[in-house]
Chain A
Amino acid sequence: MAEAADLLKTPLFDLHVELGAKMVPFAGYDMPVQFPLGVMKEHLFTRESAGLFDVSHMGQAWLVGPDHATTAAALETLVPSNMKELKPGKQRYTVLLNDNGCIIDDLMVSRPLASEDDGRLMLVVNAACKDNDYKIIAAALPENVKLEIVEDRALIAIQGPKAAEVMALHAPEAAEMGFMEARPLEFDGISVIASRSGYTGEDGYEISIPAGAAEAVAKALLADERVESIGLGARDSLRLEAGLCLYGHDIDENTTPVEGNITFCMQKRRKEAGDFPGGERVLKQLAEGTENLRVGLLLEGRAPAREGAEIRVPGTEEIIGRVTSGGYGPTLGAPVAMGYVPSNLAEIGTELELVVRGRALPAKVAEMPFVAQRYYRKPK
Protein backbone atom coordinates (compact mmCIF):
# COMPACT_ATOMS: atom_id res chain seq x y z
CA MET A 1 0.00 0.00 0.00
CA ALA A 2 1.26 3.46 -0.87
CA GLU A 3 2.35 5.76 1.96
CA ALA A 4 0.02 8.70 2.58
CA ALA A 5 2.78 11.07 1.45
CA ASP A 6 2.87 9.50 -2.04
CA LEU A 7 -0.85 9.82 -2.55
CA LEU A 8 -2.37 12.49 -4.73
CA LYS A 9 -4.95 14.83 -3.25
CA THR A 10 -8.05 16.14 -4.96
CA PRO A 11 -8.96 19.85 -4.69
CA LEU A 12 -11.52 18.84 -2.03
CA PHE A 13 -9.04 16.99 0.23
CA ASP A 14 -9.02 19.67 2.95
CA LEU A 15 -12.81 19.85 2.97
CA HIS A 16 -13.09 16.06 3.41
CA VAL A 17 -10.72 16.14 6.37
CA GLU A 18 -12.57 19.11 7.87
CA LEU A 19 -15.84 17.15 7.55
CA GLY A 20 -14.32 14.21 9.45
CA ALA A 21 -13.91 11.79 6.54
CA LYS A 22 -12.02 8.53 6.95
CA MET A 23 -9.42 8.76 4.18
CA VAL A 24 -8.06 5.71 2.34
CA PRO A 25 -5.74 5.19 -0.64
CA PHE A 26 -7.71 4.61 -3.85
CA ALA A 27 -6.25 4.55 -7.36
CA GLY A 28 -3.27 6.57 -6.15
CA TYR A 29 -5.40 9.22 -4.43
CA ASP A 30 -6.15 9.87 -0.78
CA MET A 31 -9.95 9.56 -0.92
CA PRO A 32 -12.83 9.64 1.59
CA VAL A 33 -14.25 6.13 2.07
CA GLN A 34 -16.85 7.36 4.52
CA PHE A 35 -17.94 10.44 6.47
CA PRO A 36 -19.22 10.50 10.07
CA LEU A 37 -22.71 9.38 8.92
CA GLY A 38 -21.26 5.97 7.94
CA VAL A 39 -21.75 3.92 4.79
CA MET A 40 -25.28 2.74 5.55
CA LYS A 41 -26.76 6.17 6.37
CA GLU A 42 -24.83 7.81 3.51
CA HIS A 43 -26.31 5.29 1.10
CA LEU A 44 -29.88 5.73 2.39
CA PHE A 45 -29.55 9.52 2.51
CA THR A 46 -28.53 9.61 -1.15
CA ARG A 47 -31.59 7.59 -2.16
CA GLU A 48 -33.89 9.75 0.00
CA SER A 49 -32.42 13.21 -0.53
CA ALA A 50 -29.08 14.02 -2.21
CA GLY A 51 -25.46 12.96 -1.80
CA LEU A 52 -22.35 14.89 -2.84
CA PHE A 53 -19.45 12.80 -4.16
CA ASP A 54 -15.89 13.86 -4.94
CA VAL A 55 -14.90 12.05 -8.13
CA SER A 56 -12.00 14.33 -9.00
CA HIS A 57 -9.68 11.32 -9.13
CA MET A 58 -11.33 10.32 -12.40
CA GLY A 59 -9.65 11.38 -15.62
CA GLN A 60 -11.04 14.30 -17.59
CA ALA A 61 -9.78 14.92 -21.12
CA TRP A 62 -10.75 16.55 -24.39
CA LEU A 63 -10.47 15.19 -27.87
CA VAL A 64 -9.96 18.19 -30.14
CA GLY A 65 -10.29 18.00 -33.90
CA PRO A 66 -11.28 20.28 -36.79
CA ASP A 67 -14.96 19.30 -36.74
CA HIS A 68 -17.29 16.81 -35.09
CA ALA A 69 -17.21 14.28 -37.92
CA THR A 70 -13.40 14.04 -37.77
CA THR A 71 -13.16 13.81 -33.96
CA ALA A 72 -16.04 11.34 -33.71
CA ALA A 73 -14.54 9.16 -36.45
CA ALA A 74 -11.20 9.10 -34.59
CA LEU A 75 -12.88 7.98 -31.35
CA GLU A 76 -14.99 5.40 -33.18
CA THR A 77 -11.83 3.49 -34.13
CA LEU A 78 -11.48 2.65 -30.39
CA VAL A 79 -15.08 2.20 -29.20
CA PRO A 80 -18.16 0.28 -30.42
CA SER A 81 -20.65 3.16 -29.95
CA ASN A 82 -22.03 5.71 -32.40
CA MET A 83 -20.09 8.92 -31.89
CA LYS A 84 -20.77 10.57 -35.24
CA GLU A 85 -24.50 10.69 -34.43
CA LEU A 86 -23.96 12.13 -30.93
CA LYS A 87 -25.84 15.45 -30.91
CA PRO A 88 -24.54 18.69 -29.37
CA GLY A 89 -25.23 18.70 -25.64
CA LYS A 90 -25.59 14.92 -25.43
CA GLN A 91 -23.59 12.37 -23.45
CA ARG A 92 -23.00 8.68 -24.13
CA TYR A 93 -21.55 5.71 -22.18
CA THR A 94 -18.99 3.66 -24.08
CA VAL A 95 -16.03 1.32 -23.70
CA LEU A 96 -12.47 1.31 -25.03
CA LEU A 97 -11.80 -2.09 -26.59
CA ASN A 98 -8.62 -4.05 -27.24
CA ASP A 99 -8.03 -6.26 -30.30
CA ASN A 100 -9.88 -9.15 -28.61
CA GLY A 101 -12.95 -6.97 -28.23
CA CYS A 102 -12.32 -6.87 -24.48
CA ILE A 103 -12.77 -3.81 -22.32
CA ILE A 104 -9.77 -1.59 -21.56
CA ASP A 105 -11.96 0.91 -19.69
CA ASP A 106 -15.50 2.26 -19.61
CA LEU A 107 -16.04 5.98 -20.06
CA MET A 108 -18.48 8.83 -20.60
CA VAL A 109 -18.24 10.95 -23.73
CA SER A 110 -20.05 14.26 -24.16
CA ARG A 111 -20.34 16.63 -27.08
CA PRO A 112 -20.40 20.31 -26.14
CA LEU A 113 -23.53 22.31 -26.82
CA ALA A 114 -21.96 25.42 -28.39
CA SER A 115 -21.27 25.51 -32.14
CA GLU A 116 -17.87 27.17 -31.51
CA ASP A 117 -16.86 23.96 -29.66
CA ASP A 118 -17.59 21.82 -32.72
CA GLY A 119 -14.90 19.15 -33.02
CA ARG A 120 -14.47 18.75 -29.26
CA LEU A 121 -15.53 15.72 -27.21
CA MET A 122 -15.16 15.55 -23.44
CA LEU A 123 -14.08 12.21 -21.94
CA VAL A 124 -14.38 11.05 -18.33
CA VAL A 125 -12.41 7.85 -17.64
CA ASN A 126 -11.66 5.71 -14.58
CA ALA A 127 -8.95 6.92 -12.21
CA ALA A 128 -7.04 3.65 -12.13
CA CYS A 129 -7.07 3.38 -15.95
CA LYS A 130 -6.45 6.93 -17.02
CA ASP A 131 -2.72 6.81 -17.83
CA ASN A 132 -3.13 3.67 -19.93
CA ASP A 133 -6.28 5.04 -21.62
CA TYR A 134 -4.54 8.26 -22.60
CA LYS A 135 -1.61 6.34 -24.06
CA ILE A 136 -3.90 4.15 -26.13
CA ILE A 137 -6.11 7.01 -27.29
CA ALA A 138 -3.21 9.31 -28.17
CA ALA A 139 -1.52 6.55 -30.18
CA ALA A 140 -4.66 5.93 -32.23
CA LEU A 141 -5.47 9.52 -33.16
CA PRO A 142 -4.89 10.97 -36.62
CA GLU A 143 -2.63 14.04 -37.06
CA ASN A 144 -5.51 16.50 -36.89
CA VAL A 145 -7.10 15.24 -33.65
CA LYS A 146 -5.38 15.87 -30.33
CA LEU A 147 -5.89 14.54 -26.83
CA GLU A 148 -5.83 17.31 -24.21
CA ILE A 149 -5.59 15.94 -20.68
CA VAL A 150 -7.32 18.15 -18.14
CA GLU A 151 -5.32 18.40 -14.90
CA ASP A 152 -6.73 21.59 -13.40
CA ARG A 153 -10.36 20.69 -12.83
CA ALA A 154 -12.26 18.90 -10.08
CA LEU A 155 -15.23 16.61 -10.73
CA ILE A 156 -18.06 16.26 -8.25
CA ALA A 157 -21.39 14.47 -8.45
CA ILE A 158 -24.66 15.36 -6.76
CA GLN A 159 -27.03 12.41 -6.82
CA GLY A 160 -30.46 11.69 -5.43
CA PRO A 161 -34.12 12.66 -5.79
CA LYS A 162 -33.48 16.16 -4.38
CA ALA A 163 -30.32 16.82 -6.43
CA ALA A 164 -32.19 18.72 -9.16
CA GLU A 165 -34.05 21.10 -6.84
CA VAL A 166 -30.85 21.95 -4.97
CA MET A 167 -28.86 22.41 -8.20
CA ALA A 168 -31.56 24.71 -9.59
CA LEU A 169 -31.02 27.16 -6.71
CA HIS A 170 -27.44 27.77 -7.90
CA ALA A 171 -27.74 27.07 -11.64
CA PRO A 172 -31.37 27.46 -12.80
CA GLU A 173 -30.64 26.16 -16.30
CA ALA A 174 -29.65 22.77 -14.84
CA ALA A 175 -33.38 22.05 -14.44
CA GLU A 176 -33.83 22.08 -18.23
CA MET A 177 -31.36 19.25 -18.78
CA GLY A 178 -32.53 15.69 -19.42
CA PHE A 179 -30.74 12.45 -18.51
CA MET A 180 -27.45 12.10 -20.44
CA GLU A 181 -27.33 15.74 -21.48
CA ALA A 182 -24.31 17.95 -20.92
CA ARG A 183 -23.82 21.71 -21.02
CA PRO A 184 -21.91 24.60 -19.52
CA LEU A 185 -23.61 26.27 -16.54
CA GLU A 186 -23.02 29.29 -14.35
CA PHE A 187 -23.10 27.95 -10.78
CA ASP A 188 -23.34 31.00 -8.47
CA GLY A 189 -21.32 32.83 -11.14
CA ILE A 190 -18.69 30.06 -11.48
CA SER A 191 -18.37 28.57 -14.98
CA VAL A 192 -18.79 24.78 -14.78
CA ILE A 193 -19.62 21.95 -17.18
CA ALA A 194 -22.41 19.68 -16.01
CA SER A 195 -23.93 16.46 -17.24
CA ARG A 196 -27.17 14.97 -15.96
CA SER A 197 -25.85 11.51 -15.18
CA GLY A 198 -24.06 9.60 -12.45
CA TYR A 199 -23.23 6.28 -10.89
CA THR A 200 -25.97 5.66 -8.34
CA GLY A 201 -29.11 4.94 -10.39
CA GLU A 202 -30.57 8.23 -9.13
CA ASP A 203 -31.24 11.51 -10.90
CA GLY A 204 -28.35 13.93 -10.52
CA TYR A 205 -25.43 15.73 -12.07
CA GLU A 206 -21.70 15.39 -12.52
CA ILE A 207 -20.03 18.78 -12.45
CA SER A 208 -16.58 19.63 -13.80
CA ILE A 209 -15.22 22.69 -11.96
CA PRO A 210 -11.97 24.69 -12.16
CA ALA A 211 -9.91 23.26 -9.26
CA GLY A 212 -9.73 26.58 -7.43
CA ALA A 213 -13.52 26.94 -7.34
CA ALA A 214 -14.34 23.33 -6.41
CA GLU A 215 -14.51 23.93 -2.68
CA ALA A 216 -16.85 26.90 -3.12
CA VAL A 217 -19.24 24.82 -5.24
CA ALA A 218 -19.09 21.85 -2.84
CA LYS A 219 -19.67 24.08 0.20
CA ALA A 220 -22.58 25.85 -1.48
CA LEU A 221 -24.26 22.48 -2.12
CA LEU A 222 -23.43 21.10 1.33
CA ALA A 223 -24.86 24.22 3.02
CA ASP A 224 -28.27 22.87 2.00
CA GLU A 225 -29.65 20.41 4.56
CA ARG A 226 -30.88 18.24 1.70
CA VAL A 227 -27.25 17.43 0.80
CA GLU A 228 -24.64 15.35 2.66
CA SER A 229 -21.07 14.39 1.75
CA ILE A 230 -20.84 10.75 0.67
CA GLY A 231 -17.74 8.52 0.56
CA LEU A 232 -16.53 5.79 -1.77
CA GLY A 233 -18.08 3.07 0.43
CA ALA A 234 -21.64 4.19 -0.26
CA ARG A 235 -20.74 5.04 -3.87
CA ASP A 236 -19.96 1.34 -4.31
CA SER A 237 -23.13 0.02 -2.64
CA LEU A 238 -25.26 2.53 -4.59
CA ARG A 239 -23.83 1.54 -7.95
CA LEU A 240 -24.10 -2.15 -7.08
CA GLU A 241 -27.82 -1.83 -6.30
CA ALA A 242 -28.20 0.11 -9.57
CA GLY A 243 -26.62 -2.85 -11.41
CA LEU A 244 -23.79 -0.67 -12.76
CA CYS A 245 -20.40 -2.23 -13.52
CA LEU A 246 -17.23 -1.41 -11.62
CA TYR A 247 -14.33 -1.53 -14.04
CA GLY A 248 -11.60 -4.00 -13.05
CA HIS A 249 -14.17 -6.12 -11.21
CA ASP A 250 -17.35 -6.66 -13.24
CA ILE A 251 -15.78 -5.91 -16.61
CA ASP A 252 -12.10 -5.97 -17.55
CA GLU A 253 -9.56 -6.86 -20.23
CA ASN A 254 -10.91 -10.43 -20.32
CA THR A 255 -14.55 -9.56 -20.95
CA THR A 256 -16.28 -8.18 -24.03
CA PRO A 257 -19.32 -5.88 -23.91
CA VAL A 258 -21.43 -8.92 -24.87
CA GLU A 259 -20.14 -11.06 -21.99
CA GLY A 260 -20.41 -8.04 -19.67
CA ASN A 261 -24.05 -7.64 -20.70
CA ILE A 262 -23.57 -3.98 -21.62
CA THR A 263 -24.42 -4.15 -25.31
CA PHE A 264 -26.70 -1.12 -24.76
CA CYS A 265 -23.51 0.90 -25.31
CA MET A 266 -23.37 -0.37 -28.91
CA GLN A 267 -25.69 1.17 -31.47
CA LYS A 268 -27.09 -0.47 -34.60
CA ARG A 269 -24.67 0.95 -37.18
CA ARG A 270 -21.63 -0.26 -35.20
CA LYS A 271 -23.20 -3.65 -34.40
CA GLU A 272 -23.76 -4.22 -38.10
CA ALA A 273 -20.37 -2.98 -39.26
CA GLY A 274 -18.17 -4.36 -36.46
CA ASP A 275 -15.69 -1.60 -37.36
CA PHE A 276 -13.96 -1.41 -33.97
CA PRO A 277 -11.16 -3.34 -32.20
CA GLY A 278 -12.11 -6.99 -31.85
CA GLY A 279 -15.17 -6.31 -34.01
CA GLU A 280 -15.19 -9.71 -35.66
CA ARG A 281 -15.24 -11.52 -32.32
CA VAL A 282 -17.86 -9.22 -30.82
CA LEU A 283 -20.13 -9.62 -33.87
CA LYS A 284 -19.80 -13.39 -33.65
CA GLN A 285 -20.78 -13.23 -29.98
CA LEU A 286 -23.76 -11.02 -30.77
CA ALA A 287 -24.94 -13.56 -33.33
CA GLU A 288 -24.14 -16.80 -31.51
CA GLY A 289 -24.07 -15.85 -27.85
CA THR A 290 -21.18 -16.17 -25.41
CA GLU A 291 -19.94 -18.91 -23.15
CA ASN A 292 -20.44 -16.75 -20.06
CA LEU A 293 -22.58 -13.78 -19.17
CA ARG A 294 -22.65 -11.23 -16.34
CA VAL A 295 -25.82 -11.59 -14.29
CA GLY A 296 -27.38 -10.19 -11.13
CA LEU A 297 -27.63 -12.53 -8.13
CA LEU A 298 -29.95 -12.33 -5.14
CA LEU A 299 -29.19 -14.46 -2.10
CA GLU A 300 -31.89 -16.07 -0.03
CA GLY A 301 -30.44 -15.38 3.42
CA ARG A 302 -28.80 -12.36 5.01
CA ALA A 303 -25.16 -13.30 4.47
CA PRO A 304 -23.49 -11.23 1.75
CA ALA A 305 -21.37 -12.99 -0.90
CA ARG A 306 -18.35 -10.86 -1.75
CA GLU A 307 -16.13 -10.60 -4.81
CA GLY A 308 -14.46 -13.94 -5.58
CA ALA A 309 -17.18 -16.17 -4.08
CA GLU A 310 -17.61 -19.36 -6.13
CA ILE A 311 -20.84 -19.98 -8.01
CA ARG A 312 -22.16 -23.55 -8.29
CA VAL A 313 -25.22 -25.40 -9.49
CA PRO A 314 -27.10 -26.81 -6.47
CA GLY A 315 -26.17 -30.41 -5.81
CA THR A 316 -22.89 -30.23 -7.74
CA GLU A 317 -19.35 -29.35 -6.73
CA GLU A 318 -18.11 -27.80 -9.97
CA ILE A 319 -17.28 -24.08 -9.91
CA ILE A 320 -19.19 -22.55 -12.83
CA GLY A 321 -18.41 -18.91 -12.13
CA ARG A 322 -17.45 -16.31 -9.57
CA VAL A 323 -18.99 -13.26 -7.96
CA THR A 324 -17.36 -10.08 -9.34
CA SER A 325 -19.06 -7.59 -6.99
CA GLY A 326 -21.12 -8.35 -3.94
CA GLY A 327 -22.21 -6.90 -0.66
CA TYR A 328 -25.15 -5.66 1.30
CA GLY A 329 -27.69 -3.44 -0.45
CA PRO A 330 -28.92 -0.97 2.19
CA THR A 331 -31.98 0.16 0.20
CA LEU A 332 -32.96 -3.40 -0.65
CA GLY A 333 -32.16 -4.49 2.91
CA ALA A 334 -30.60 -7.65 1.55
CA PRO A 335 -27.35 -8.90 0.08
CA VAL A 336 -26.83 -8.37 -3.67
CA ALA A 337 -24.17 -9.57 -6.06
CA MET A 338 -23.21 -9.81 -9.69
CA GLY A 339 -21.03 -12.37 -11.36
CA TYR A 340 -20.38 -14.46 -14.45
CA VAL A 341 -22.20 -17.72 -15.17
CA PRO A 342 -22.48 -19.93 -18.25
CA SER A 343 -25.02 -18.39 -20.65
CA ASN A 344 -27.36 -21.40 -20.36
CA LEU A 345 -27.65 -20.64 -16.62
CA ALA A 346 -28.14 -16.89 -17.03
CA GLU A 347 -31.92 -16.91 -17.25
CA ILE A 348 -33.75 -14.89 -14.56
CA GLY A 349 -34.84 -17.18 -11.74
CA THR A 350 -32.16 -19.84 -12.29
CA GLU A 351 -31.29 -21.39 -8.93
CA LEU A 352 -27.60 -21.35 -8.04
CA GLU A 353 -25.38 -21.53 -4.97
CA LEU A 354 -22.79 -19.01 -3.83
CA VAL A 355 -20.06 -20.44 -1.64
CA VAL A 356 -19.27 -18.24 1.36
CA ARG A 357 -16.75 -19.51 3.94
CA GLY A 358 -17.21 -23.06 2.70
CA ARG A 359 -20.98 -22.93 2.98
CA ALA A 360 -23.26 -23.02 -0.08
CA LEU A 361 -25.84 -20.22 0.10
CA PRO A 362 -28.93 -20.47 -2.12
CA ALA A 363 -29.19 -17.68 -4.71
CA LYS A 364 -31.14 -16.87 -7.85
CA VAL A 365 -30.25 -15.09 -11.06
CA ALA A 366 -32.08 -11.77 -10.78
CA GLU A 367 -33.07 -8.81 -12.88
CA MET A 368 -30.81 -5.74 -12.65
CA PRO A 369 -31.00 -3.02 -11.49
CA PHE A 370 -31.83 -4.40 -8.05
CA VAL A 371 -33.24 -0.98 -7.12
CA ALA A 372 -35.22 0.88 -9.80
CA GLN A 373 -33.29 3.61 -11.58
CA ARG A 374 -34.83 7.07 -11.30
CA TYR A 375 -33.20 9.04 -14.09
CA TYR A 376 -34.85 12.26 -15.24
CA ARG A 377 -36.36 11.99 -18.73
CA LYS A 378 -37.48 15.26 -20.24
CA PRO A 379 -41.14 15.40 -21.27
CA LYS A 380 -41.41 15.18 -25.06
Chain B
Amino acid sequence: MSTYFTKDHEWLKVEGDVVTVGITEFAQSQLGDVVFVELPENGKTVDQDDEVAVVESVKAASEVYAPLDGEIVEGNELLVDEPAKVNEDPEGAAWFFKMKLGNAAQLEALMSEADYKAFVETL
Protein backbone atom coordinates (compact mmCIF):
# COMPACT_ATOMS: atom_id res chain seq x y z
CA MET B 1 0.00 0.00 0.00
CA SER B 2 1.33 3.45 -0.89
CA THR B 3 0.21 6.82 0.43
CA TYR B 4 0.22 10.04 -1.56
CA PHE B 5 -0.74 13.66 -0.86
CA THR B 6 -2.05 16.58 -2.94
CA LYS B 7 -1.57 20.33 -2.72
CA ASP B 8 -5.30 20.53 -1.93
CA HIS B 9 -4.53 18.79 1.38
CA GLU B 10 -5.97 15.43 0.51
CA TRP B 11 -4.39 12.04 1.17
CA LEU B 12 -4.69 8.91 -0.97
CA LYS B 13 -4.04 5.31 -0.01
CA VAL B 14 -3.64 3.03 -3.02
CA GLU B 15 -4.40 -0.68 -2.64
CA GLY B 16 -4.39 -2.49 -5.98
CA ASP B 17 -6.65 -0.38 -8.21
CA VAL B 18 -8.74 1.04 -5.33
CA VAL B 19 -7.81 4.45 -3.92
CA THR B 20 -9.12 5.68 -0.55
CA VAL B 21 -9.26 9.50 -0.31
CA GLY B 22 -9.56 11.83 2.70
CA ILE B 23 -8.42 15.23 3.92
CA THR B 24 -5.26 15.75 5.94
CA GLU B 25 -4.77 16.63 9.59
CA PHE B 26 -3.59 20.07 8.42
CA ALA B 27 -6.81 20.54 6.40
CA GLN B 28 -9.06 19.64 9.33
CA SER B 29 -7.15 21.99 11.65
CA GLN B 30 -7.67 24.83 9.16
CA LEU B 31 -11.36 24.08 8.66
CA GLY B 32 -12.30 23.89 12.30
CA ASP B 33 -15.37 22.04 13.55
CA VAL B 34 -16.92 20.08 10.67
CA VAL B 35 -20.73 20.10 10.74
CA PHE B 36 -21.65 18.59 7.36
CA VAL B 37 -20.15 16.35 4.70
CA GLU B 38 -21.61 15.76 1.24
CA LEU B 39 -20.33 12.59 -0.45
CA PRO B 40 -20.12 11.77 -4.16
CA GLU B 41 -22.55 9.30 -5.74
CA ASN B 42 -21.38 5.74 -6.17
CA GLY B 43 -20.64 4.83 -9.76
CA LYS B 44 -19.92 8.41 -10.81
CA THR B 45 -17.05 8.79 -13.27
CA VAL B 46 -14.83 11.72 -12.35
CA ASP B 47 -11.85 13.59 -13.77
CA GLN B 48 -8.87 14.73 -11.76
CA ASP B 49 -9.63 18.06 -9.96
CA ASP B 50 -13.42 17.71 -10.29
CA GLU B 51 -15.25 18.88 -7.19
CA VAL B 52 -16.71 15.65 -5.85
CA ALA B 53 -17.43 16.19 -2.15
CA VAL B 54 -18.08 19.09 0.20
CA VAL B 55 -17.00 19.60 3.77
CA GLU B 56 -18.61 22.37 5.81
CA SER B 57 -17.41 23.86 9.06
CA VAL B 58 -19.43 26.30 11.18
CA LYS B 59 -17.70 29.05 9.22
CA ALA B 60 -17.71 27.98 5.57
CA ALA B 61 -18.01 25.31 2.89
CA SER B 62 -14.94 23.81 1.18
CA GLU B 63 -14.68 21.48 -1.80
CA VAL B 64 -13.01 18.13 -1.85
CA TYR B 65 -11.51 17.34 -5.28
CA ALA B 66 -11.02 14.08 -7.13
CA PRO B 67 -7.25 13.60 -6.89
CA LEU B 68 -7.23 11.35 -9.96
CA ASP B 69 -9.39 10.24 -12.89
CA GLY B 70 -11.56 7.27 -12.04
CA GLU B 71 -14.88 5.97 -10.80
CA ILE B 72 -16.34 6.55 -7.32
CA VAL B 73 -17.07 3.18 -5.74
CA GLU B 74 -17.96 4.07 -2.14
CA GLY B 75 -18.63 7.08 0.09
CA ASN B 76 -18.00 6.96 3.85
CA GLU B 77 -21.55 7.02 5.25
CA LEU B 78 -20.13 7.43 8.78
CA LEU B 79 -19.40 11.08 7.95
CA VAL B 80 -23.03 11.79 7.06
CA ASP B 81 -24.12 10.90 10.60
CA GLU B 82 -20.98 11.99 12.42
CA PRO B 83 -19.29 14.83 10.50
CA ALA B 84 -17.18 15.66 13.59
CA LYS B 85 -15.19 12.45 12.91
CA VAL B 86 -13.36 14.49 10.28
CA ASN B 87 -11.80 16.53 13.10
CA GLU B 88 -11.11 13.50 15.29
CA ASP B 89 -9.56 11.07 12.81
CA PRO B 90 -9.10 12.73 9.41
CA GLU B 91 -6.41 10.34 8.17
CA GLY B 92 -8.11 7.18 9.46
CA ALA B 93 -11.79 6.46 10.14
CA ALA B 94 -12.90 9.72 8.47
CA TRP B 95 -11.89 8.84 4.91
CA PHE B 96 -14.26 10.50 2.38
CA PHE B 97 -14.58 8.11 -0.57
CA LYS B 98 -13.00 5.23 -2.45
CA MET B 99 -12.42 5.35 -6.17
CA LYS B 100 -11.29 2.95 -8.84
CA LEU B 101 -8.01 4.12 -10.33
CA GLY B 102 -8.50 5.29 -13.92
CA ASN B 103 -5.01 6.45 -14.83
CA ALA B 104 -2.14 5.18 -12.66
CA ALA B 105 0.30 7.54 -14.37
CA GLN B 106 -1.31 10.45 -12.50
CA LEU B 107 0.06 9.09 -9.22
CA GLU B 108 3.58 10.05 -10.22
CA ALA B 109 2.84 13.77 -9.97
CA LEU B 110 1.51 13.52 -6.39
CA MET B 111 3.52 14.18 -3.23
CA SER B 112 5.02 11.70 -0.80
CA GLU B 113 4.40 12.20 2.92
CA ALA B 114 7.81 13.87 3.32
CA ASP B 115 7.14 16.20 0.35
CA TYR B 116 3.72 17.10 1.74
CA LYS B 117 5.17 17.90 5.17
CA ALA B 118 7.71 20.18 3.53
CA PHE B 119 4.90 21.78 1.47
CA VAL B 120 2.82 22.51 4.61
CA GLU B 121 5.88 24.10 6.23
CA THR B 122 5.96 26.68 3.43
CA LEU B 123 2.35 27.78 4.03
Contacts and interface: CB of A to CB of B under 8 A. Distances in A.
Contact of B33 (A40, A302, A357): A40
B118 to A, nearest CB: 23
B6 to A, nearest CB: 21
A327 B36 contact: no
Interface in B1-43: 32-33, 35-36, 38
A39 B57 contact: yes
A237 B32 CA distance: 14
Given A40-B58, A43-B58, A303 B36 contact: yes
B32 A39 contact: yes
B61 interface: yes
A304 B32 contact: no
B56 interface: yes
Contacts of A304: 35-36, 56, 61
B61 A306 contact: yes
Interface string B48-92: 000000101111110000000000000000001001000000000
B33 A303 contact: no
Interface in A48-87: none
A303 B38 contact: yes
Interface in A308-330: 327-328, 330
A335 B33 CA distance: 14
A38 interface: yes
Most chain A beta carbons < 10 A, residue from B35, B54, B56, B60: B35
Contacts of B59: 33, 39, 233, 327
A126 interface: no
Nearest to B54: A357
A233 B35 CA distance: 14
B32 A328 contact: no
Contacts of B80: 302
A305 B56 CA distance: 10
B48 to A, nearest CB: 20
B58 A237 contact: yes
A91 interface: no
A287 to B, nearest CB: 41
Nearest to B33: A40
Contact of B58 (A302, A327, A357): A327
B61 A330 contact: no
B36 A302 contact: yes
Interface in A16-55: 33-34, 38-41, 43
Contacts of A302: 35-36, 80, 83
Nearest to A22: B32
B36 A330 contact: no
B36 to A, nearest CB: 5
Contacts of A306: 60-61
Contact of A39 (B38, B54, B58, B61): B58
Contacts of B32: 34, 38-40, 233
A303 B56 contact: yes
Contacts of A233: 32, 58-59
Given A39-B32, A302-B35, A303-B36, A328 B54 contact: no
A33 B61 CA distance: 16
A274 B80 CA distance: 52
A150 to B, nearest CB: 31
B7 to A, nearest CB: 21
A377 B57 CA distance: 35
A40 B57 CA distance: 9
Nearest to A333: B35
Nearest to B84: A40
Interface in A273-289: none
B22 to A, nearest CB: 19
A39 B36 contact: no
A58 B38 CA distance: 37
A311 to B, nearest CB: 18
Contacts of B36: 302-304, 328, 335
7 smallest CB-CB distances across A and B, nearest first, come from A40-B33, A328-B35, A39-B58, A302-B36, A328-B58, A38-B32, A303-B36
13 contacts: A33-B59, A38-B32, A38-B33, A39-B32, A39-B59, A40-B32, A40-B58, A234-B58, A237-B58, A302-B36, A303-B36, A327-B59, A328-B35
Interface of A: 33-34, 38-41, 43, 233-234, 237, 302-304, 306, 327-328, 330, 335, 357
Given A39-B32, A303-B56, A328-B36, 11 more contacts: A38-B32, A39-B57, A40-B35, A43-B58, A237-B58, A303-B36, A303-B38, A304-B56, A306-B61, A330-B33, A330-B58
